[in-house]
Amino acid sequence: MPPASSRPVDNLDDDDYPAYTMGRAAEILGTTPAFLRALGEHRLITPLRSDGGHRRYSRYQLRIAARARELVDQGTPIEAACRIVILEDQLEEAQRINQQLRTQRRDPQSQTSA
């Protein structure tokens, strides 16, 4: 759970805050808790745990799960869907880093301030 010093209002904007129970997450995604557990077994998402040990999902994790569900709904096996989503996420991160490096190369001043 979040540190006691964080303000509740801050959590409203935090995509990584574990706000959703498994039941609520499954309802939002229109799927079952078993589907969410399967995503965890395939290491696509790892929910945080409440003090009582219950799974809690963030908005970011729900977006990842929704993408996996789209692929599964199109007939992709869940293992392959998880791998595809992981690779898409890695590609997006690599492109973001690449763009940062290009920007730094064009603007040498930004290297000293970063």
Helix%, strand%, coil% for the chain, nearest 5: 60, 5, 30
Are 63 and 28 in contact, with CB atoms under 8 Å apart? no
Counting Cβ atoms within 10 Å, is residue 2 exposed (0-12), middle (13-18) or buried (19+)? middle
Give 10-60 pLDDT, tens digit per residue: 777 778 888 899 999 999 999 999 999 999 999 999 999 988 999 999 999
pLDDT of 85 reads: 97
State the pTM of this model. 0.76
For the stretch 52-98, pLDDT in tens is 999 999 999 999 999 999 999 999 999 999 999 999 999 999 999 99
pLDDT at site 17:
87
Whole-angstrom distance, CA of residue 90 vs CA of residue 63:
15
